[in-house]
Structure 1
């Protein structure tokens, strides 16, 4: 198992609040741990079919994402193997999940599907806040989700990620790291988040 090629993949859109959970958890893992060469971390964002080459080379794929399980907000839930595409298709929170389902289907068609799939998902609280960061409850699940991934690697793959002596994340561009992104958001007064105020004013007077 130590030679297993493992891909840890965060998917989702950081522009839409809790939908960025998967990417933020991979960012946290990258900042907190150093991984052996057999383990790759990837910000998959909303790339869909562009992820195909990365998954073709993996024996195991661990996916991190915001998933509508129908559970209370901020609940972590883990599913495996054949249950993964079922969970992603049951209640889509975003078009990126449709794209990722296509990737999984193509991998099976080409005979290149990973031997094992694990989905570590969180039930989102808010998805329609454009430019927003993670909500408080979902943000609090980033570290536990990362801990679950590390525990899985140690227990099932004989892979022991080592804590970094100093934080040195490089999986995301500096401008879109969680700290910079959330700190740089304009106030609601500076950036109307419900539409163009001029259009809304005109509509109200019509």
Structure 2
């Protein structure tokens, strides 16, 4: 079965267009492929402009703090790194009520537990988007503190953006190629964490630990200190 079927089936053409659209990238930029979702939203903002009722959000690892974004959206597009058990860089699209189940299928980190709870709480309160699309990418590497997307995952971003833009267009989001650069205050990610700066300014392995802060490792992990 194709990774894009049958979950990628579109809503009936007669459905009214959503009044509010939220595009949400979730994940942790500091752990390699965990940053896929945030990088997608960052690239989407750099390349396109949208109708006023479309909001782009760097959800990071905020968990329940994202609840209002979900509750206020009539349509929700999510980008995230998801462990589907597929080949690294493979995209899979999941829709509507199936999304909470996939968000918790194989939890890679606490942010997915938190966001699964956000979706479930929104459903419980009766304020759940009528349309939800998760564009997930199978990660290759997560245990690289300060690392960036691996080549296979970074290459998958372009296809993910094409799929996302097509969906946003079908929802009435009016994606248009950006003709003027963003100002620093408009960007969804801080300048220091933007992809190019993040990759080029990374310290060497000798200067910065690749597996986290060794001060907090148990003795058995890295020997007695």
Q: What TM-score comes out, normalization by structure 1 length?
A: 0.91
Q: Does structure 1 residue 184 correspond to structure 2 residue 195?
A: no
Q: 1:102 aligns with which of 91, 94, 117?
A: 117
Q: 1:162 aligns with which of 172, 176, 181?
A: 176
CA contact (8 A) 2:58 2:189 kept: yes
CA contact (8 A) 1:3 1:38 kept: no
User: Which stretch has the larger CA shift, 76-85 or 166-175?
Assistant: 166-175
Q: 1:81 aligns with which of 79, 84, 96?
A: 96
Structural RMSD (CA): 2.1
Q: How many pairs are equivalent?
A: 202
Gapped regions of structure 2 (runs ≥ 5) = 1-15
- Aligned with 1:90: secondary structure? coil
Q: CA-to-partner distance for each residue in 1:144-193, whole Å, 9 max, x for gaps?
A: 11111111122x32332110113326111111111111111111132242
- Tell me which residue corresponds to 2:107: 92
1:57 and 1:95, CA in 2 relative to 1: closer, same or farther beyond 3 A?
same
CA distance in 1, matches of 2:55, 2:67: 15
1:2 and 1:109, CA in 2 relative to 1: closer, same or farther beyond 3 A?
closer
Moved beyond 3 Å, runs of 4+: 194-197
| Cα offset, 1:28, TM superposition | 0.2
| Cα offset, 1:137, TM superposition | 0.5
- Aligned with 1:186: secondary structure? coil
- Aligned with 2:104: secondary structure? helix
Q: CA-to-partner distance for each residue in 1:3-46, whole Å, 9 max, x for gaps?
A: 53110000000000000000000000000000111111000000
CA distance in 2, matches of 1:196, 1:122: 29
CA contact (8 A) 2:18 2:172 kept: no
Gapped regions of structure 1 (runs ≥ 5) = none
Q: Does structure 1 residue 141 correspond to structure 2 residue 156?
A: yes
1:44 and 1:141, CA in 2 relative to 1: closer, same or farther beyond 3 A?
same
| Cα offset, 1:196, TM superposition | 4.7
| Cα offset, 1:133, TM superposition | 0.4
- Tell me which residue corresponds to 2:75: 60
Q: CA-to-partner distance for each residue in 1:53-74, whole Å, 9 max, x for gaps?
A: 1111100111000000111000
Q: CA-to-partner distance for each residue in 1:78-119, whole Å, 9 max, x for gaps?
A: 010121111111111111010011111111111111111110
